[in-house]
Structure 1
Amino acid sequence: MTLKPPTPTTPADTSKKARRIVWILMAMIVAAGLIWYAVFTFTKPAPQVTTPADGGQLVRGDSHRVTKPVKEQGQLVEFLDFECEACGSIQPFVNELKQEFGDKITFVTRYFPLPSHRNSKTAALAAEAAAQQGKYEQMYNKLFETQTQWGEKQESEAALFRTFAQEMGLNMTAYDAAVADDKTKARILKDVADGTALGVTGTPTFFLDGKKLTLTTKEALRQALADTAK
């Protein structure tokens, strides 16, 4: 039996073996990485899904439209607080604008009682209870006309507001029931929630055709309405 001498190892063979080892090591590293990723992915907590906040609705079906033009050319929405001095100050002017532009612009009022005003929510309840008997505007005007009598008081003025309702000839049983009804309170709180979502932080705040107005003078408001009513 003749023995063949061993085949000599060449530099090329050595290089080939080294590359093979490198590829094997890289494959092991990749495999380990894939295993780690799979374990991490399936064991980590599921991400929290955040539901987008309600962006608010400027006007709702039950919002108080105090003018009803046959052919609407614009819509002015006011978020107000019956105890707010600025609201009380501008209210006569807003009534003038209703007379001037009410045949073209729909005026909408929404409640936004501020927490710092002790009787603002109570006043809103009185207005909404009156609204349920078709006397919203009468109570609206009465509350602003008498604001200096009851505004900034720390005790409840509910009895005074009830007197206003009696003077208007409202059914007092129905009025009292409406004031105490959680649905009436929820109606007001919905206005507040919409206003907050829309960026209302104080009163009065006006929106003209969906755009929040930044006004420095009463005449600027009149001009904005005039431009819309053209």
Structure 2
Amino acid sequence: MSRRTLVLAISVLTVIGFAVAAFFYERASTVPQATAPVQEIGALVRFNSPSFGPAKAPVTIVEFFDPSCESCRAFYPIVKKMMSQHPADVRLVLRYVRLHAGSEEAIRILETARKQGVFVPVLEAVLEAQPQWHGDAKATAAWDAAGQAGLDVAKAREDMMSAEITATIERDAADAKKVGVSGTPTFFVNGKPLTNFGAQPLYDLIWSEINQSR
């Protein structure tokens, strides 16, 4: 089954997920963006990658993620729900991949949001608005959504082309190529690739790793 077919199959879950966005926003306080350095694990995790959940969680999910990817949008509430069910056991690390028009613009929005301390609300707003900016190289609707979610847009536009953000994008692209990422989302759980794409196989792999850690 193709990923596009799977996107259609889980689109109802996406609608439900964004309908309860307030619930997930509250959860952001218990699954926060990490501020402490992340231990590097080869090409999967870098010390300054966006991350959520306890730093010493026994299970680390690495998601190679394109904010313009419809499947990534569909999986976002699913992954957040999995994390909320195992808040002490699971950490999520996001890595960026550019596959569509507007992807890089959206990534730069997210990275400036991270610098401003509003990564979670901006990420959720940008994903919710994705149908309005998908395929737009300037990601105009993503900028609008980010501003409404608390991003200082003027400051973000000043900072978005910084050498640091560009280095993050290029590093993630190189790592994605190194580990063989060909589409998004691509998941690794404790370094193990998700070989059967889908919500249930991902949950099964996470649960298997949780059980092994106990």
TM range (shorter): 0.7 to 0.9
- Quote the Cα distance in structure 1 between the aligned partners of 2:205 and 2:126: 27
Q: Which residue of 1 is the match for residue 23 of structure 2?
A: none
2:47 to 54, 57, 61: 61
Alignment of 1:25-104 (within 5 A): 57-68=43-54, 71-104=56-89
Q: Return the letter of the residue paired with 2:132.
A: Q
1:186 to 167, 175, 186: 167
Q: Which residue of 1 is the match for residue 20 of structure 2?
A: none
Note the residue ranges of structure 2 that are not aligned, 5 or more in a row: 1-40
Percent identity reads 30
- Quote the Cα distance in structure 1 between the aligned partners of 2:153 and 2:135: 26
How many pairs are equivalent? 171
State the TM-score, normalizing by the size of structure 2: 0.73
Q: Which residue of 1 is the match for residue 3 of structure 2?
A: none
**Shift in Å, 1:128:** 0.5
Task: Give the secondary-structure state (helix, strand or coil) at the position aligned to 1:132.
Answer: helix
Q: Return the letter of the residue paired with 1:192.
A: A
Q: Which residue of 2 is the match for residue 126 of structure 1?
A: 109
Note the residue ranges of structure 1 that are not aligned, 5 or more in a row: 1-54
State the TM-score, normalizing by the size of structure 1: 0.69
* Greater Rg over alpha carbons, structure: 1
Distance 1:169 1:86, change over 3 A: closer
- Quote the Cα distance in structure 1 between the aligned partners of 2:65 and 2:164: 20
Task: Give the secondary-structure state (helix, strand or coil) at the position aligned to 1:207.
Answer: strand
Q: Answer whether contact 2:129 2:141 (CA < 8 A) is retained.
A: no
1:1-23 per-position Cα deviation (integer Å, ceiling 9, x unaligned):
xxxxxxxxxxxxxxxxxxxxxxx
1:201 to 158, 171, 182: 182
**Shift in Å, 1:166:** 2.5
Q: CA RMSD in A?
A: 1.9
1:167-202 per-position Cα deviation (integer Å, ceiling 9, x unaligned):
233334431222132321221121111111111111
Q: Return the letter of the residue paired with 2:59.
A: G
**Shift in Å, 1:56:** 5.6
**Shift in Å, 1:101:** 2.2
